[in-house]
Structure 1
Amino acid sequence: MTESFEIPASHRRVRVWFGATTIADHTATADQAAQYEEAMRRRFASLRVTSEPVLVAAGMPERSR
C-alpha cells in the first residue's frame, strides 16, 4: 500500500467570498499572502476572507508544486 502524506508548503491561499461564491482567489508566499489578506479585509470589510495553507504531496518534486 502506498501512503501519501501532505505537508504544508510555504504558500497560502487567500480567498474573498460573496456568500458561497469566491470573488477573489490568490496564492502567494506566506508573507505576501498576509499582506494580500490584510488589504482584502480592508477593501471588502463586510465579506468573508479566508487564508489557508497550501498542501503539497510529500515526495513531489519542487518544480511541479
Structure 2
Amino acid sequence: MTAVMEHGALSRVCVWFGEHKIVEHVAEPAFAIRFEAAMRRRFASLRVTNEPIAAVRDVDPT
C-alpha cells in the first residue's frame, strides 16, 4: 500500500488567545466553514483561522 496526500480534504479551525491555541477543530471544508463562523460569533475579539490540511489515505497500487 502507498500513502497519498490529498490537499483540501480536511480543514483545521483554530481559535487563538494571543499565541495560545484555545480551540482546534478538524472537519470537512463545508463543516469547517460553519464552525469557523460560529467561533467568530462566540469569540469576536479573538483571532480565528481556517486552513486546509493534508489528509493521508492508503492506496492499493494494484
TM over 0.5: yes
Structure with bigger RCO (C-alpha 8 Å, 6+ apart): 2
User: What is the deviation of 1:6?
Assistant: 4.9
Q: Give unpaired runs (5+ residues) of structure 2.
A: none
What TM-score results when the alignment is normalised by the length of structure 1? 0.75
Would you tell me which structure has more strand in proportion to its own residues? Answer: 2
Report the identity percentage. Answer: 45
Q: Which runs of 4+ in 1 moved over 3 A?
A: none
Deviations 1:5-64 (A, max 9, x none): 85413210000000000000000001100000000000000000000101235xx417xx
The answer as to 2:26 corresponding to 1:27 is yes
Q: Give unpaired runs (5+ residues) of structure 1.
A: none
The aligned residue for residue 8 of structure 1 is 7
Aligned residues: 56
Contact 2:11–2:32 under 8 Å retained in 1 = yes
Give the Cα separation in 1 of the matches to 2:55 and 2:34: 22
Counterpart residue identity of residue 51, structure 2: E
